[in-house]
Structure 1
Amino acid sequence: MFNSYKTSPFFDEMFTSEGKPKPHYQKFHEILSQFTEDDLKEKHDTAQLSFLRQGITFTVYNNNVGTERTMPFDFVPIIISPEEWKTIEKGMIQRTEALNQFLEDVYHEQKILKDGVIPRNLVEENPYYYAKQAKGINVPLKNHIFLAGIDLIRDESGKYHVLEDNLRNPSGMSYVYQNRYVMRQVYPEFFAKHAVETLEHQLSHLYEAILDHAPEAKREKPFAVLLTPGMYNSAYYDHVFLAQQMGMDLVEGRDLLVKDNIVYMKSIRGLKRVDIIYRRIDDDFLDPEAFREDSALGVSGLVGAYRQGNVAILNGIGNGVADDKAIYAYVPEMIRYYLKEEPIIDNVKTYLLGKEEEREWVLAHLEELVVKNVGASGGYDMLIGPHASKEQLEEFRAKIIETPHQYIAQPTIKLSRAPAYQGEKFYPCHVDLRVFVMRGKETRVLPGGLSRVALKEGSLVVNSSQGGGGKDTWVCKDERGSS
């Protein structure tokens, strides 16, 4: 079934360059080899149907029309050895700690700017830096990042790099659980032979981390809610799943009100005081008094209550300044500055186009590079030089010259690949991994994460909105029984 499968010139997650399964994929490969083509087709179809039946969808917007889609699922898991996982775990804890210290610093003393480690204009002119709304606020635990989603890739040598930090409203945790659920239902054979780190208690850790952020003056039992923009949001399934699993009330802005700088939830028994809001609404829409006046999604007076320390908002307001693609280039420096350590997992090399010499070099090598808009996400306003037409190259050249600060450039990395089974055959597809870091009084990393796969043959874009899909991610237990 893998006769025509080619690994070179990429690093393959499952196979060596000679086409042999790697040691931690050996058992999986043996079981897979016992399936007939009909077995594989039937199992593949059953898996896709399972997502459809459970209503696991996301919404793609095109020309202001929303289309519901199921996340395509691929059953070949990404399997991570215990040794590799230890490195990822340490690297993610280190990185989120430095990013959190940066947020605490830029909204308070600004030492990193005074010391010239990061250019002041990159912070103060950043559209996600909310000095007026968030400067000087003392947040519980001094923790701005309760949940981070850090995107990792591997290069052609198999080395991990951080591609992106998501510190505002990282989504996708529900898909990690659904991918595992479907794998267990459809492919129970695999789990009989593998000792895989369980996801079982992770959502109770997430809930604990939420409650750890109760405001200091809080009574015995803090009350937390999950604030959603509502059912038309593309990640609404994620919101519903997390609220249900953690036993939290799922609320919209209209369900909350602020009186005398205290937040209440309206209920059939009257008003109930709210201490913690895990919000899945962007900053701009949170409070029409503090941000956009036309927001119908938020709660008037919410930022006032936050300032007074009467309610915790997770993730913190203004986190976008730290996951901006231009600030990303400085995260290794942040790690050295705040933690006095070298980065365990480094960035992808990044060119800042606001710097004249870097810009000139990039303009001369556009066809070799990836160019990204620092404010865009989901694979939008992005140039992949080697795959671009002359017109696209010229269009981006003009954009860079006009607003250089709006773009960064990176080398085209030969992203690692893994087998995917689609259309009744196996072929190699590019993959990345979103790792979820949960931070309360303790920091924990969800074992595994969301492996995203570019299912279109030859595509480099893994985002679900652009045709990507998901895979289950297994962290193998080591012989001693823990990863």
Structure 2
Amino acid sequence: MPNKNEDIYDEMWAGNGEVREAYVNLKSWLENTPPETFRRKREEAEFLFRRLGITFAVYGEGGDPERLIPYDIVPRVLSGQKWREMEKGMEQRVRAINAFLADIYDKQEIVAAGVVPKEIIDANEAYIPEMRGVKPPSSVHAHIAGVDMVCVDGDFVVLEDNVRTPSGVSYMLGNREAEMRLFPELFSLHRIQAVDHYPDELRKRLQSVSPNQERMPRVVVLTPGRFNSAYFEHAFLADKMGVELVEGPDLFVDEDNVVYMRTTRGPQRVDVIYRRIDDAFLDPEAFNPDSVLGVRGLVGAYRAGNVAIANAIGNGVADDKAIYVYVPEMVRFYLGQEPILKNVPTFMGRKADDLKYIKDNLQDLVVKEVHGSGGYGMLVGPKSTKEECETYWKRIEADPDGFIAQPTLALSTCPTFVGEGVAPRHVDLRPFVLSGADGISIVPGGLTRVAMKEGSLVVNSSQGGGTKDTWVLED
């Protein structure tokens, strides 16, 4: 069913009522498949996800926090040509962010040049001054980056960058497996680029940054444990990569600042740690002394260059939404190139003129906390009452540096199976960019998140959004 709002770009239907080329075969399938078949297949998918343990914990909710993320059985389709354009832009962007992180923990040339204000760095809670002068193995900071994008009027623009511990890749892989099991006939109608090699690519990139290349590097996945919302993903990726899943007590650091894993065959040296623990809890000796999740002495081993940690300690400074504004300038400064991917126009509360604009146009803007994530703490002006806007403005007024605002984007829509049948719903996209000593690789596709409620622009899983399989077609 085409989108009735002609101001919103629909990825399947062109404005003249014709179907876009990438969706031609999918249209026939949608028209010839009874709604009852879709409902039955969706139930089968939910059974499969529960059997695999693909659940998502939502903190702060009463009752059992484990629930399924809604899965939409109608795939999203991207052309090979469109993907190549996006791929070049993502690689360029992540190279610039890696250069920024290396610089900001060294000479801070971008600050000296006046491109990024020093006060933004100093005020950033995720910036760790103690890491200045510490060079990670192979000088790679952002080994795994999630570049969140939305399609507006047919072009993809970047909403934010995730280079701390981006999650969601297990859902990308799980969605593809489910789709192939449920609708094998649909795959026979399309030539779809594979995503199942992601774990192999991740393992290769992690091994490439090992400080010890004289033998096969040992990689482990460090998890805070089974009560973490993304624990399934930690266990899933460790299993798919063929590496050990460990918790803090499974590791120790000896007097030579070398990290070891406790095993039944004695201590085994660890070269690379893919950590899914926040910086503050990594090492009680260096950061939060009350942490029981991390490894005492780990930062010392990292400083000594005896272990690689992915992603690097202190990356959160580049996740900051105030830093996001300057990524296009990073591309120009470090790479000497014009940015391929555009940012969303952003107003910063710390700038007097921008703050006035935010106040005068609050009901037309989306306002976010600079350090926020997961869709929490944001205001969607057009969907809020006057009273809600007034209350939110008081928060901005009390801490203007803590907020940014963006125009309410007309996010593209994709066909989605909902209660009343197949209907357009808003989507975003998180591709995963892998960086190592041997270069950058990007698995074609990514995690498409979909707002299951009609008209909603909030796609975050923590806010009730769902996911769908993302297809990149072969040419």
Q: Same fold (TM over 0.5)?
A: yes
Q: Which amino acid aligns with 2:230?
A: A
In structure 1, the residue matched to 2:12 is 14
In structure 2, the residue matched to 1:429 is 425
Structure-2 separation of matches of 1:444 and 1:29: 32
In structure 1, the residue matched to 2:239 is 244
Q: Which amino acid aligns with 1:428?
A: P
Alignment match of 1:90 (pick from 88, 96, 102):
88
Please report how far the alpha carbon of residue 18 of structure 1 lies from its aligned counterpart in structure 2 after TM superposition.
3.0
In structure 1, the residue matched to 2:36 is 38
SS at match of 1:11: coil
1:288 matched to 2:280? The reply is no
Structure-2 separation of matches of 1:298 and 1:340: 39
Structure-2 separation of matches of 1:114 and 1:5: 49
Aligned length: 473
TM-score (norm. length: structure 2): 0.97
Q: Which amino acid aligns with 1:122?
A: I
Structure-2 separation of matches of 1:189 and 1:477: 17
In structure 1, the residue matched to 2:456 is 459
Alignment match of 1:298 (pick from 291, 294, 297):
294
In structure 2, the residue matched to 1:226 is 221
Structure-1 separation of matches of 2:53 and 2:146: 23
Report the RMSD for the aligned CA atoms in angstroms.
1.3
In structure 2, the residue matched to 1:417 is 413
CA contact (8 A) 1:60 1:66 kept: no
Task: List aligned pairs for 1:57-456, cutoff 5 A.
Answer: 57-62=55-60, 67-132=65-130, 134-155=131-152, 157-215=153-211, 217-260=212-255, 261-440=257-436, 441-456=438-453
Instruction: Give me the identity figure in percent.
Output: 48
SS at match of 2:267: strand
- Which stretch of structure 1 is more off in the superposition, 64-73 or 20-29? 64-73
SS at match of 1:61: coil
SS at match of 2:261: strand
Structure-2 separation of matches of 1:143 and 1:5: 43
Q: Which amino acid aligns with 2:186?
A: F
Structure-2 separation of matches of 1:470 and 1:37: 19
SS at match of 2:342: coil
Please report how far the alpha carbon of residue 9 of structure 1 lies from its aligned counterpart in structure 2 after TM superposition.
2.2
- Which stretch of structure 1 is more off in the superposition, 60-69 or 234-243? 60-69
SS at match of 1:322: helix
Structure-1 separation of matches of 2:309 and 2:290: 21
Where does structure 2 lack aligned partners over 5 or more consecutive residues? none
SS at match of 1:447: coil
Q: Which amino acid aligns with 2:96?
A: A
SS at match of 1:451: strand
Structure-1 separation of matches of 2:215 and 2:21: 51
- Which stretch of structure 1 is more off in the superposition, 275-284 or 66-75? 66-75
Structure-2 separation of matches of 1:166 and 1:176: 16
Structure-1 separation of matches of 2:403 and 2:175: 34
CA contact (8 A) 2:38 2:73 kept: no
Judged with a 3 Å threshold, the aligned counterparts in structure 2 of structure 1 residues 5 and 332 are, in CA distance, closer, same or farther, namely closer
Please report how far the alpha carbon of residue 80 of structure 1 lies from its aligned counterpart in structure 2 after TM superposition.
0.5
CA contact (8 A) 2:3 2:10 kept: no
Please report how far the alpha carbon of residue 66 of structure 1 lies from its aligned counterpart in structure 2 after TM superposition.
5.7
Structure-2 separation of matches of 1:52 and 1:273: 36
Structure-2 separation of matches of 1:464 and 1:457: 16
Structure-2 separation of matches of 1:150 and 1:344: 13
1:269-327 CA distances to partner (integer Å, 9 max, x unpaired)?
11111111010001011001111111110011100010000111110000000110000
Please report how far the alpha carbon of residue 54 of structure 1 lies from its aligned counterpart in structure 2 after TM superposition.
1.7
Where does structure 1 lack aligned partners over 5 or more consecutive residues? 479-483
Q: Which amino acid aligns with 1:129?
A: Y
Give structure 1 regions of 4+ aligned residues with deviation exceeding 6 angstroms. Answer: none
Q: Which amino acid aligns with 1:452?
A: R
Structure-1 separation of matches of 2:372 and 2:35: 41
Please report how far the alpha carbon of residue 49 of structure 1 lies from its aligned counterpart in structure 2 after TM superposition.
2.1
Please report how far the alpha carbon of residue 100 of structure 1 lies from its aligned counterpart in structure 2 after TM superposition.
0.3
Please report how far the alpha carbon of residue 48 of structure 1 lies from its aligned counterpart in structure 2 after TM superposition.
2.3
Q: Which amino acid aligns with 1:144?
A: H
Alignment match of 2:467 (pick from 443, 466, 470):
470
Please report how far the alpha carbon of residue 40 of structure 1 lies from its aligned counterpart in structure 2 after TM superposition.
2.2
